[in-house]
Chain A
Amino acid sequence: MFDEDKPIYRQIAEGIERDILTGVLDADEKVMSTNEYAAFYRINPATVGKAFQQLVDRGVLYKRRGIGMFVDAGALELLRKEHRRRFPADIIGPLLAEARAIGLSVGEVIEEIERIAPKEIQ
């Protein structure tokens, strides 16, 4: 269920970030509860709590006492900014490393991207 590459709480946090970025979770929408996460993934609720706390500290989620965790109104903007900043290192770097290994030029990579990219982001 989890990949071995990252601590579980970070994977949970990244899953929520992904849901916000892709519009699965909207601003002020309630996130699944700690217990729901813990039961689903069979992990200690404290581990889920750690993921939530980090997202609260970063301004991605906010807590309503006794009700649960909600998506902060500024979360989407914040996450887009963060993920864009990391885009070169996280995505383009590995892409170029692979291109070099298999002998593709930057021009050919761009050509390939333009060929398969969906219309709405062209």
Chain B
Amino acid sequence: MSMDIQVSSVGVEFSDTVALDGIDLSLAGDRIHGLLGRNGAGKSTLLSVMAGFRKPTAGEVFLDGMPVFENPNAMSQMCLIREVPDTLDASEKVSETLALTRRMRPSWDETLARDLLDRLDLDTGKKLGSLSRGKRAALGVVIGMATRAPVTMFDESYLGLDAPSRYVFYGAVLADFMERPRTFVISTHLIEEVASLFEEVTIIHRGRLLLQESADELTESGAEVVGPADIVDRFVADHTILASRSLGSTKAVTTTAPLDETWRRSAREGGLEVRPVPLQDLFIHLTGRGADDG
């Protein structure tokens, strides 16, 4: 079942700060969405509002047209895995946490859970309080994946996972998404290694929506042009320049020039190298210092 999420004019204010400011956003169902933002951009707040965990100060979130807050029908369709586990009973065993989740979630897939427990090397006999940060994160991954909720959200779930475990996680998301298409929202600020999983990318910056675009188009909306400084300057004269660096007479400019074939060819014939900008770099340029002035 395809589940769309509609975020409508959502604002969240804490006593002295504005965490989210008028976010309008539509996340299409049956896609893997990347939610990107720097630390403190509002990713976690947005996810907890989307999952119905938190009532926004303004606006509302709808799942397939249903308001999510305090709505069991909507919330049962969603699963948000946060970095800090929601149950913090340190004396509870991993196996007990899993058994409880299995009872609450009719869509639970025990085979998938067993497989991931094994691949992430998680001992179900251990108590939650004795788990390392990495193993706690692994438990979150197992619960998020095996719950198989139509909307599955991971909030920085890779934090603490070592590299092999992160790749188990990414592989599991992709494999399960292809087997049973559903909506994934994955928030991260370590973009490079997950970028290729995303179909859509949403970037929030300082509590506001900065952009939402298909990942492929976003990667192609920028180009790095490298070559002799005078030729580079001539080529990018009409385009927005995001970043620029020089080495002697060589200049590298990150621009929002389109990477279409004609442009690439004429640049190459002019002696320039033209490369797509990795999503991570684009993200850094768009949200880095100075990005607020534009």
Name the contact of B196 in the complex, choosing from A6, A39, A43, A50 (C-beta under 8 A). Answer: A43
Looking across the interface, which residue of chain A has its beta carbon closest to that of B220? A7
Q: How far is the CA of A46 from the CA of B33 in the complex (A)?
A: 12
Q: Tell whether A89 pairs with B171 under 8 Å between CB atoms, given A4-B275, A44-B215, A45-B178.
A: no
Looking across the interface, which residue of chain A has its beta carbon closest to that of B32? A44
* A42 with B216: CB separation less than 8 A: no
* B174 with A42: CB separation less than 8 A: yes
Q: How far is the CA of A89 from the CA of B267 in the complex (A)?
A: 12
* A46 with B278: CB separation less than 8 A: no
* B216 with A9: CB separation less than 8 A: yes
* A47 with B276: CB separation less than 8 A: no
Q: Tell whether A8 pairs with B269 under 8 Å between CB atoms, given A42-B174, A50-B216.
A: no
* A42 with B196: CB separation less than 8 A: yes
Interface residues in A, total, Cβ within 8 A: 19
Q: How far is the CA of A4 from the CA of B175 in the complex (A)?
A: 25
Which residues from B are CB-within-8-Å of A8? 196, 216
Interface residues in B, total, Cβ within 8 A: 24
CB distance from A91 to the nearest CB of B (A): 12
* B278 with A43: CB separation less than 8 A: no
Chain A, range 75-100, C-beta contacts under 8 Å to B: 89, 93
A5 at the interface (CB under 8 A from B): yes
CB distance from B41 to the nearest CB of A (A): 23
B198 at the interface (CB under 8 A from A): yes
Which residues from B are CB-within-8-Å of A42? 170-171, 174, 196-197
Which residues from B are CB-within-8-Å of A7? 216, 219-220, 259, 276
B199 at the interface (CB under 8 A from A): yes
The dominant DSSP class at the B interface is helix
* A6 with B276: CB separation less than 8 A: yes
Which residues from A are CB-within-8-Å of B268? 89
Q: How far is the CA of A31 from the CA of B34 in the complex (A)?
A: 29
* B216 with A5: CB separation less than 8 A: no
* B191-228 to A contact mask, C-beta < 8 Å, 1/0: 00000111100000000000000111001100000000
B265 at the interface (CB under 8 A from A): yes
* B276 with A4: CB separation less than 8 A: yes
* B215 with A93: CB separation less than 8 A: no
Chain A, range 39-85, C-beta contacts under 8 Å to B: 39, 41-47, 50
* B212-252 to A contact mask, C-beta < 8 Å, 1/0: 00111001100000000000000000000000000000000
Q: How far is the CA of A35 from the CA of B179 in the complex (A)?
A: 9
Chain B, range 240-294, C-beta contacts under 8 Å to A: 259, 265, 268-269, 275-276, 278
B31 at the interface (CB under 8 A from A): yes
Which residues from B are CB-within-8-Å of A89? 265, 268-269
- 19 examples of A-B residue contacts, CB within 8 angstroms: A4-B276, A5-B275, A5-B276, A6-B276, A7-B219, A8-B196, A9-B216, A38-B174, A39-B174, A39-B175, A41-B196, A42-B196, A43-B196, A44-B32, A45-B177, A46-B31, A89-B265, A89-B268, A89-B269
Extra contacts besides A42-B170, A42-B171, A89-B265 (20): CB < 8 Å: A4-B276, A7-B216, A8-B196, A8-B216, A38-B174, A39-B174, A39-B175, A39-B178, A42-B196, A42-B197, A43-B174, A43-B196, A44-B32, A44-B174, A44-B196, A44-B199, A46-B199, A46-B214, A47-B196, A93-B269
